[in-house]
Amino acid sequence: MSTEPNPVLTPNLAKLPPAGQRPGGLGPAVFVSAAGIVYDSDKFAQSGLPEPADWEALTDPKLAGHAAVPDITFVYRALYAAINYLKTGDQTNLDGSLALIKAIKDPMIYTDFPTLQTRFNGGEIWAVLGSSGYLLRLQQTGKNLKFALPKTRDGNTGSGFAALTPIKGSSKLELAQTYINIAIATDVQTKMVREVGFGPTNFEAIKATAADRKLASLIISDPVQLEAVFKTNWTDLNKALPEWIEKWNRTVRR
């Protein structure tokens, strides 16, 4: 169970938007990650594929064998929560995501990032259902990569907060909150988006990096948009995970 952050130990909390201070009742949001499609725009142009505008772009027959989607056990399963919400209005209804995956011809199901990176860099994979942070992590000299942001059900992008949560009753509670305060500090957040590709939640870090054209698609600089980002309901998702895995095994791992 999470506990309210101590403002004395986490003074950097004041630099976060209200929605990012305790998203979903958890701890402070350390970064913003958007659910979308990282794609090789040169491969798309050469193959006559239009730039992705929605998730259905992955189902184009010209992408057969060239699209990758994460396994249900992979850490970024919140990507499927965003798709579920768009398709069904319910983050936990995996039928929304399964319908999409079944429509993708011969997708690569990735269970770890190094394997995905090898196959993407080798030219086999042209489009990846993943998070915005993948844009920098998959970048390779000579590749013209872009990130497409499909809309969610309410018209906003499928961005979401990732939080660090101080656990109530922990014997290391003060140390945990000191660590969280470092994670949301301006210098750390600025370095994180430049080197890892996850969008900052610290307003000062947002201001310092938003003008960088290479990072523009990774950063939400409008406070109103930050307040409206998609919020993953991890409590419900964790409860639904056993059912997700069962459905996934029956539908995808046939």
At 144, which CATH number? Answer: 3.40.190.10
Is residue 88 assigned to a domain?
A: yes
Is residue 106 assigned to a domain?
A: yes
Q: pLDDT band for 150, please (50, 70, 90 cuts).
A: confident
Is residue 220 assigned to a domain?
A: no
Give the Cα separation of 229 and 139 in Å (integer): 26
* First vs last C-alpha separation in the chain: 37
DSSP 157: B
Range of the domain at 60: 32-158
Range with the largest mean pLDDT of 26-35, 50-59, 163-172, 226-235: 50-59
User: Which of the two residues, 4 and 72, has the higher pLDDT score?
Assistant: 72
Is residue 136 assigned to a domain?
A: yes
Q: pLDDT band for 254, please (50, 70, 90 cuts).
A: low
Residue type, 191: K
In the chain, the number of structural domains is: 1
Is residue 252 assigned to a domain?
A: no
Is residue 42 assigned to a domain?
A: yes
Buried b (16+ CB within 10 A) or exposed e, 96-134: bbbebbeebeebbebeebeebbebbeeeebbbbbbbbbb
Q: pLDDT band for 157, please (50, 70, 90 cuts).
A: low
- pTM: predicted TM-score of the whole model, two decimal places: 0.83
- Is pLDDT of 158 > 70? no
